Amino acid sequence: MSRILITGSADGLGLMAGQHLIGEGHDVVLHARNDDRARDTRAAAPGAADVLVGDLASIDETRKVAEQAIAAGPFDAVIHNAAVGYQERRRIGTVDGLAHVFAINVLAPYLLTALIPAPSRLVYLSSGMHRGGDPDLDDLQWERKRWNGSQAYADSKLFDAVLAVAVARRRPSVRSNAVDPGWVPTRMGGRGAPDDLAQGSATQTWLATSDDRAATTTGGYFYHRRPRQAHPATDDPRVQDGLLAACAGLTGIELG
């Protein structure tokens, strides 16, 4: 039995992953943005060991989620599932003055990774759209570029894959991987999404718990339990170090 934390698990793929892992007998801690969603999460996954509460759009609240996680841990695996989608309008709506998509999709998993004692496994949710992402780090908050929600999402999912590989390089004792769950019919993906919903959460739960040889690698990018070629920037140490430095500058916390 493993103890596993899943961020952004009030609904969608995160909740599905939690329900599956609970059904397998694992000790699962879930996460919701606020108290109302946490109550719904407990009702949907009554076997969860706990539900952490905090809005990952806020650096301060993300720190508080990390504090809750430290109190609830240690964890064998953390699945960084929380995200907002490609239909987001440009919002400098966070209390920190950051672009909403970047704050939740990239900065929050960075900060949680930096603050929570390293588990043996880390899983970062990316997307097939990451291949259209731009690895340029010069305007992460879309202050000069004309806003494009799809591009901002693709960029963020590229940076999630970069983060997974960067952590694998910085922390060789940790199995850190990125996952493309497929374009599945969740609230984010839309009802017309063509991929298999049942497969949507399977790869992240497999990477978090399985002893299969293929699941015990690190620095990989997976789709439906199979390794896939990621964007070339994912393996570029200059992009990795640049992203880590940018996130450290915004949070005041360096990833060791």
**What's the pLDDT score for residue 114?**
98
What residue spans define the domains of the chain? Answer: 3-251
**What's the pLDDT score for residue 182?**
76
Q: Sheet containing 221-223: give its strands across.
A: 50-53, 27-32, 3-6, 77-80, 121-125, 175-180, 221-223, 226-227
Percent of the chain topping pLDDT 70: 91
Question: Active site residue: 110, 153, 221, 223, which one?
Answer: 153
**What's the pLDDT score for residue 198?**
72
Would you place residue 122 in the very low, low, confident or very high pLDDT band (cuts 50, 70, 90)?
very high
**What's the pLDDT score for residue 188?**
55
Mean predicted confidence (pLDDT) in 112-138 = 97
CATH architecture of 3-251: 3-Layer(aba) Sandwich (3.40)
Choice between 102 and 87, residue whose per-residue pLDDT is larger: 102
Percent of the chain topping pLDDT 90: 85
**What's the pLDDT score for residue 197?**
64
Q: What is the mean pLDDT of the chain?
A: 93
Question: Active site residue: 86, 124, 157, 221, which one?
Answer: 157
CA–CA–CA angle 84, 94, 239 (5° rounding)? 65
Quick one: which of 175, 198, 173, 166 has its CA closest to 185?
Answer: 198
Residue 5 burial class via C-beta count within 10 angstroms: exposed 0-12, middle 13-18, buried 19 and up: buried
Would you place residue 59 in the very low, low, confident or very high pLDDT band (cuts 50, 70, 90)?
very high
pLDDT, one tens digit per residue, over 197-220 is 677 799 999 999 999 999 999 999
pTM (two decimals)? 0.94
Is 223 catalytic? The answer is: no
Is 157 catalytic? The answer is: yes
Residue 100 backbone dihedrals phi, psi, to 5 degrees: -55, -50
Residue 93, pLDDT > 80, answer: no
Mean predicted confidence (pLDDT) in 244-250 = 98
Residue 72, helix vs strand vs coil: helix
d(CA 66, CA 80): 12
pLDDT, one tens digit per residue, over 135-189 is 999 999 999 999 899 999 999 999 999 999 999 999 999 999 999 997 655 555 4
